[in-house]
Chains A and B, each alone.
Chain A
Amino acid sequence: MAMSRDEVFEEVKAVLVDALGLDEDEVTEEATLMGDLGAESIDFLDIVFRLEKAFGIKVPREELFPAENLLNNPDYVSNGKLTAKGLQEFKARMPHTDFSEFEADPDVNRLSDLFTVRSVVNFVESKLNSAA
């Protein structure tokens, strides 16, 4: 049976609490994984593994957290900001993510703010729906 969004959120929350050693009330939809919840690079892989196990889905890391490879491309980054082309590429790769605030100032240092709990929940939901 399909999971409701609340059920997906609760399961994602449990994954993040375990992976990052958090209290449950720290995990809100708006929380950013790195800034608010203190995730480091290896934690992203841990989260990917745990999501795969919790939801029985396959999660290629570059789908959920694609930033690393794209940032090395000079077409996409100029003077520390994403170019129009870069922004387009990120949006295409991260359909589960809300770019509306980021677009105003596409500073690469603000990219980490895009990885929110909500974006993870959206990602898992889309994976579950496409599998159904």
Chain B
Amino acid sequence: MRWIWIDKFLEFESGRRAVALKNVTLAEEHLHDHFPGFPVMPECLMIEAMAQTAGILVGEARHFEEKVILAKIKQAVFHDFVRPGDTITLHAEIESIAPEAAGTTGRILRGDDLIAQIDLMFSHIDRNLAGKVFPEENFVFTDMFRSLLAGFVPSAGQESTP
């Protein structure tokens, strides 16, 4: 099982930008403790949602042939709380992409309100850690992850070529 932290894509432009949506709900148990009587979405989980949005964008740009791993949080600035019942949209853009890695910029909005700015770097790990070998199958982009893209990317449901 993979932990999917965005609900769907609203827009997807291959290799350029994507917009994903997440609904935040009190059914998420961690909100009961974060904080008791004052439930707000943890900032680290906003970064996770952006990492999934931007990570899928980066992966799709190379036809899911790379294992794309979050490598660096370049910037994370938060301007407001996110509460149960909120719908947030995650706007990610590829700033740079090279054989070894990619850099993305991103904004999280609630309606038109800016909630956060999150810029990330992803590593194509097979091309970095010199000499280390990872399993052949792409353990990053599982079927469930790719199902988010159904309707946007015709190739998303297919097997990637090794």
Contact surface of A with B, Cβ cutoff 8 Å: 19, 41-43, 45-46, 48-49, 52-53, 61, 68-69, 71-72
Contacts and interface: CB of A to CB of B under 8 A. Distances in A.
A8 B115 CA distance: 35
B101 interface: yes
Contacts of A72: 130-131
Given A53-B96, A72-B130, 6 more contacts: A19-B74, A42-B72, A42-B128, A45-B101, A45-B103, A49-B98
B100 interface: yes
Range, interface on chain B: 10 to 19
B96 A52 contact: yes
Interface of B: 71-72, 74, 95-96, 98, 100-101, 103, 121, 123, 128, 130-131
Contact of B123 (A42, A52, A71): A42
Chain B contact residues, majority secondary structure:
strand
Nearest to B129: A41
Contacts of B101: 42, 45, 49
A42 B98 contact: no
Contacts of B100: 45, 61
A43 B72 contact: yes
A46 B103 CA distance: 8
A49 B128 contact: no
Contacts of B96: 49, 52-53
Given A68-B130, A72-B130, A42 B71 contact: yes
Q: Which of A19, A48, A49 counts the most B-chain CB atoms under 10 A from its CB?
A: A49
B74 to A, nearest CB: 7
A97 B130 CA distance: 23
10 contacts: A41-B128, A42-B128, A45-B71, A46-B103, A49-B95, A49-B103, A49-B121, A52-B96, A61-B98, A72-B130
Contacts of A71: 130
Contacts of B103: 45-46, 49
B94 to A, nearest CB: 11
Nearest to B130: A68
B121 A42 contact: yes
